[in-house]
Amino acid sequence: MRLGLDIGSTTIKCVVLDDNNKLLYSTYERHYSQITTKIGEILTRVRKEIDGVENALVAMSGSAGMGVAEQCDITFVQEVYATRVATNTFIPGTDVVIELGGEDAKILFLSGGMEVRMNGTCAGGTGAFIDQMATLLNVPLEEMNDLAKGYEKTYTIASRCGVFAKTDIQPLLNQGARKADIAQSIFHAVVNQTVAGLAQGREIEGNVVYLGGPLTFMEELRKAFDEELGTKGTCPENSLYYVACGAALCAESTINFDEIIEKVSHYTGSGNFAFNPPLFKNEEEYEQFKARHAKATVKEVPLEDYDGDCYIGMDAGSTTVKAVVMGENGELLYSKYLSNSGNPVPIIKDFLNELYDKKPNIKIKSSAVTGYGEDIIKNAFCVDYGIVETVAHFTAAKSFMPDVEFVIDIGGQDIKCFKVHNGAIDNIFLNEACSSGCGSFLQTFANALGYSIQDFAQLGIFGKHPVDLGSRCTVFMNSSVKQAQKDGATIEDISSGLSLSVVKNALYKVIRASGPDELGKKIVVQGGTFLNDAVLRAFEQEMGVNVVRPTISGLMGAYGAAMYAQSKSQGSTEGSTLLKKPDLENFVHEIKVVNCGMCNNNCRLTVNTFADGRKFIAGNRCERPITKKSPDESLNMYEYKLKVLREYKPVKGSRGKIGIPMGLNMFELLPFWHRFFTELGFEVIRSPFSTRKLYQKGQQTIPSDTVCFPAKLMHGHVKALIDMGVDTIFYPCMSYNIDEHLGDNHYNCPVVAYYPEVIYNNMKEVHNVTFIKDYFGIHRPKDFYKKAYEDLSKYFPDLTQKEVKNAAKCAYEEYDNYFAKIRQHGNEIIEKAEKEGKDIIVLSGRPYHIDPEINHGISKMIASFGVAIVSEDCVSDRVEKFKVGVLNQWTYHSRLYAAAKYVSTRKDMNLVQLVSFGCGVDAITTDEVRDILEKNGKIYTQIKIDEITNLGAVKIRIRSLLAAIGK
């Protein structure tokens, strides 16, 4: 017999095989971090139940098994190798294995050369991720699969970070989205994370096998993989035990059961952890610390004893709902801090009922709401004002420190930080790719270790040796905490160590601070997480400055909203529109999901209906479902550019069809190439504008998870052209762009310049068509036609140089006409905005940022605030070349610098920069653009764009910008 153990991050599997490799015994159990105890229990049980097992050959595998195996003299088999051995033994002919575990995700390519892809820095898309999402939906994990069966539509949800995904899901829950739709969307997010993050350009094809707990127990997850991969994968019997079986098949030595059971019971871990100095030396130092922070307080007056006007502020956050009642002089009369179960409406209703019961004759002068649930709460209860989170928190912070320079708020799922310059927020930091280090990060660990968050936080204050856990992915840090426990760390050490991790994450991942001087000396910290004294102390120690933490730290958003409501109602003789007690008694909230159907976006709308017939619609990208009118696009340059590009339609030609993938620089060069090839007698077919489905078509062939999303989309565009039957595709390499005489040079970025080579080397299908990826230099108009003729005649021998020369002449004319048209329309937008007294936003980026799938409708969102929008190329020609602080050799960057320079001369203009993740040179551009603008007193906002963009965070940035300029 052979015995195999698989010690995973969350479970232990054990199998016993006979000499014909038949499974005699198996067990699958969660170990809840008590790994060695569970191993001892299993070995004792197997020994009793299986005769002769003491003579079995034994081996161990699994991500958490190596240390145990080494110290206990058990043969260790690397889990990937074990999986391969088991698969080749039980399912010969397997091409690809996809395995999802508790914290691990793997793709094994077994044919055409053994290759393994594993998750390294992020545990998004694993079993632990699904566990977290089930908790968020408040459903048992085992019901997720059945829930997903009833879905009607899917949403785009981030899966790179288990905690950060909540930021996409929470607004959906707040807006009344169906849990069945969200459950199915979560499964699709797991698929996208696995395929895009691990396949990395190698296509998943042939016989596919699914292994691991999530894929074994969740049929809907397997279906989502099948749908994405266009295959029918196999989930074999005993799929949970393949690593354990592989270990058993590789076992070569027997063990002494008594000796091993004794050894594992005394296993103490690796001893590799570093420790930090304690947060407080003694009780006296802690008391001094508390006394200092107790000074930042608000006068509290019992509501029953107060007789003046009241102002109500509410903060419907991602994990909690906060509400305060404030008096005329800023007194705190009443407050509530409650968990948000996914829908803040009943929580606010209970708060208001309680308030009216407590003070029936209360005089409410005004009310305001902020947070993720702002829109629905404002509509549900007729709240007077809505206010963006940053402005609410800034308003509250100023009441404690009027000359505050920096505010940091760590909430349940988000970290919001903003610098203050001349009394206005001019730089915002949000956690946009990872949420390790937020409040829910600490709460997850507290609950896992059996403590309330309050008790767990208190334990960390006097930890003698805080464990250095770094600032890693929440899921991976679970393993670090388990290992630290084995190494002798106490709960106190772990709690204080995690507090340090929260601070390091905020400072070095979100703010990316190089030192305290960068943030300023006058700092206000707030948010529920800073109520934890250990976190607050860690922050002060790390930054070397004393900060102000108000005693109402967790209520600052609501308190700021109340202050805002008071300021807005000054001079008004009317009371608040907030629902009164009789209205609440008849309050009804019904939710219905419908398709809009008023345009091609076909938005899935969540319609919230209230008792008196009022409605609140969520999920819309424009105002059409609400106003029934088409949005005014006359002041939106991005919509105009799309309209112009749509006018370039195919013209039948004698030389057949040639396809152009509509991405990256083609959003600017389509006029050039369309005219060029049309003049040469080709019917020019462009790929469709990007969609999520188009992206997924090419997802498997993307070799890099870190390249920018616009580049990733090119795989889908090329695939779309091939599927359209186009047998010649033109996608040239271009080191240079046309020289606009704005910078030191006029390079294309390396991705734009050479991505055709990536496509050619990673997409098998392009070898079945004529794929033209030669190097073209349109920056040399005088002799471009000669090189173009030389290259194209290899594919089209009947071309003449005269034809190419004429086509080139027409192409340059078309390019110039296109830009003249764009700039003329830009002038018209600016003139119209000037006449109407509207502010102008220069929404700047790259040519591909007009792609709706890349910009996610951000231009429409900004336009909905009543401002005009032009792009950077509409104003970049209005300044002469000037010196910037860097080597200025990129065409698109040069335009940005020139646009920033021009914006700084206009009172009615501000700049918003769109930045794509993965673009390595963007950091330089961002700093220089900010420097140009800040020197001239302008406000600057940056929006990061990826395949998944949190539109809630985008809205925060835009509204903060508009608030800063007085809108």
Give the whole-angstrom CA distance, residue 785 versus residue 808.
6
Q: Which of 596, 606, 473 is nearest to 171 (CA)?
A: 606
Flag whether pLDDT at 67 surpasses 90.
no
Give the whole-angstrom CA distance, residue 323 versus residue 338.
9
**How would you class 868 by CB atoms within 10 Å of its CB: exposed for 0-12, middle for 13-18, buried for 19 or more?**
buried
Q: Above pLDDT 70, what percent of the chain?
A: 87
- Residue 760 pLDDT: 93
- Residue 791 pLDDT: 93
Structure tokens at 859: 């231009």
- Residue 958 pLDDT: 78
Q: In which band, very low, low, confident or very high, does the pLDDT at 807 lie, cut at 50, 70 and 90?
A: very high
pLDDT tens digits, one per residue of 836-851: 999 999 999 899 999 9
- Residue 366 pLDDT: 94
User: In this predicted structure, which of 247-251, 335-339, 471-475, 603-607 has the lowest mean pLDDT?
Assistant: 471-475
pLDDT tens digits, one per residue of 350-392: 999 999 999 999 999 999 999 878 888 888 888 999 998 888 9
Contact between 865 and 962 (Cβ < 8 Å) = yes
Residues facing 607 on adjacent strands: 592, 617
Structure tokens at 599: 């345009």
- Provide the 10 A C-beta neighbour count for residue 287: 11
More confidently predicted of 245 and 202: 245
Helix, coil or strand: residue 120: coil
Contact between 406 and 418 (Cβ < 8 Å) = yes
Same CATH topology for 1-91+236-267 and 303-401+560-585? yes
Structure tokens at 721: 């052209």
Structure tokens at 411: 């909430």
User: In this predicted structure, which of 218-222, 431-435, 918-922 has the lowest mean pLDDT?
Assistant: 431-435
Q: Give the pLDDT mean for 438-465.
A: 75
Q: In which band, very low, low, confident or very high, does the pLDDT at 320 lie, cut at 50, 70 and 90?
A: confident
Q: Above pLDDT 90, what percent of the chain?
A: 36
User: In this predicted structure, which of 245-259, 452-466, 591-605, 631-645 has the lowest mean pLDDT?
Assistant: 591-605
pLDDT tens digits, one per residue of 495-542: 888 888 878 877 776 666 666 667 778 899 988 788 888 888 988 888
Give the whole-angstrom CA distance, residue 519 versus residue 419.
7
Q: Which residues contact 208 (CB under 8 A, 6 or more apart)?
A: 94, 95, 96, 97, 98, 225, 229, 231, 233, 234
Q: Which residues contact 625 (CB under 8 A, 6 or more apart)?
A: 596, 598, 603, 605, 617
Flag whether pLDDT at 474 surpasses 60.
no
| Axis crossing angle, helix 389-400 with helix 951-964, rounded to the nearest 10 | 50
pLDDT tens digits, one per residue of 208-231: 999 988 899 899 999 999 988 888
- Provide the 10 A C-beta neighbour count for residue 761: 12
Helix, coil or strand: residue 510: helix
Give the whole-angstrom CA distance, residue 477 versus residue 471.
8
Name the CATH superfamily for 303-401+560-585: ATPase, nucleotide binding domain (3.30.420.40)
More confidently predicted of 476 and 558: 558
Rounded to the nearest integer, the mean pLDDT of the chain is: 84
- Residue 603 pLDDT: 66
DSSP codes joined into one string, 212-239:
SHHHHH-HHHHHHHHHHHTS--B--TTG
DSSP label of 775: B
DSSP label of 749: P
pLDDT tens digits, one per residue of 721-761: 999 999 999 999 999 999 888 888 889 888 889 999 999 99
Flag whether pLDDT at 645 surpasses 60.
yes
From edge to edge, which strands make up the β-sheet containing 868-870? 868-870, 840-844, 909-916, 940-945
Give the residue carrying structure tokens 């609950």.
447
- Residue 874 pLDDT: 93
Helix, coil or strand: residue 956: helix
- Residue 364 pLDDT: 93
Structure tokens at 330: 């800023």
Q: Give the pLDDT mean for 81-95.
A: 92
Q: Give the pLDDT mean for 114-138.
A: 76
User: In this predicted structure, which of 346-360, 406-420, 671-685, 859-873 has the lowest mean pLDDT?
Assistant: 406-420
Measured CA to CA in angstroms, residue 236 lies from 91, 217, 777 at distances of: 8, 12, 55
The CATH number fitting domain 823-964, selected from 1.10.3470, 3.40.50, 3.30.70, 3.40.1000: 3.40.50
Q: Decide: pTM greater than 0.85.
A: no
Give the whole-angstrom CA distance, residue 901 versus residue 772.
39
Alpha-carbon dihedral sign for residues 693, 697, 700, 704: negative
Q: Which residues contact 293 (CB under 8 A, 6 or more apart)?
A: 536, 548, 549, 551
- Residue 63 pLDDT: 73
What residue spans of 647-749 are helical by DSSP H? Answer: 666-679, 692-698, 709-723
Helix, coil or strand: residue 134: helix
- Residue 341 pLDDT: 62
- Provide the 10 A C-beta neighbour count for residue 874: 26
DSSP codes joined into one string, 424-464:
EEEEEEE--S--TTSHHHHHHHHHHTT--HHHHHHHHTT-S
Classify strands 57-61 and 2-7 as parallel, antiparallel or unpaired: parallel
Alpha-carbon dihedral sign for residues 30, 36, 42, 45: negative
Q: Give the pLDDT mean for 794-799.
A: 93
- What's the N-to-C CA distance of the chain in angstroms? 76
Q: Give the pLDDT mean for 134-151.
A: 85
What residue spans of 904-965 are helical by DSSP H? Answer: 922-934, 951-964
DSSP codes joined into one string, 798-864:
T--HHHHHHHHHHHHHHHHHHHHHHHHHHHHHHHHHHHHT--EEEEE--GGGGSHHHHTTHHHHHHT
Torsions phi, psi for 478 (to 5 deg): -55, -45
User: In this predicted structure, which of 63-72, 622-631, 876-885 has the lowest mean pLDDT?
Assistant: 622-631
Contact between 413 and 440 (Cβ < 8 Å) = yes
Alpha-carbon dihedral sign for residues 635, 636, 641, 647: negative
| Axis crossing angle, helix 165-174 with helix 127-137, rounded to the nearest 10 | 20
Flag whether pLDDT at 143 surpasses 90.
no
Specify the CATH class of 1-91+236-267 in words: alpha beta
Q: Domain 406-547 falls in which CATH fold?
A: Nucleotidyltransferase; domain 5 (3.30.420)
Flag whether pLDDT at 440 surpasses 70.
no
Name the CATH superfamily for 94-234: ATPase, nucleotide binding domain (3.30.420.40)
Phi-psi region of 725 (alpha: psi -120 to 50; beta: other; left: phi over 0): left
Q: In which band, very low, low, confident or very high, does the pLDDT at 786 lie, cut at 50, 70 and 90?
A: very high
Phi-psi region of 436 (alpha: psi -120 to 50; beta: other; left: phi over 0): beta
User: Beta-strand (E) ranges in 67-140?
Assistant: 75-76, 96-100, 105-109, 115-118
- Cα-Cα-Cα-Cα torsion 471, 473, 478, 481, nearest 10 degrees, comes to -10
Residues, the chain:
967
Residues facing 99 on adjacent strands: 106, 211
Flag whether pLDDT at 437 surpasses 60.
no
Q: Which of 297, 296, 293 is nearest to 534 (CA)?
A: 293
Q: Give the pLDDT mean for 62-77.
A: 82
Flag whether pLDDT at 483 surpasses 70.
no
What residue spans of 624-691 are helical by DSSP H? Answer: 624-627, 637-646, 666-679
**How would you class 252 by CB atoms within 10 Å of its CB: exposed for 0-12, middle for 13-18, buried for 19 or more?**
exposed
| Selection from 287-301, 494-508, 802-816, 839-853 with the highest mean pLDDT | 802-816
Q: In which band, very low, low, confident or very high, does the pLDDT at 881 lie, cut at 50, 70 and 90?
A: confident
Q: Give the pLDDT mean for 537-566.
A: 89
SS (H, E, C) 310-350: EEEEEEECCCEEEEEEECCCCCEEEEEEEECCCCHHHHHHH
Give the residue carrying structure tokens 């914006």.
903
- Domain residue spans of the chain: 1-91+236-267, 94-234, 303-401+560-585, 406-547, 589-622, 638-818, 823-964
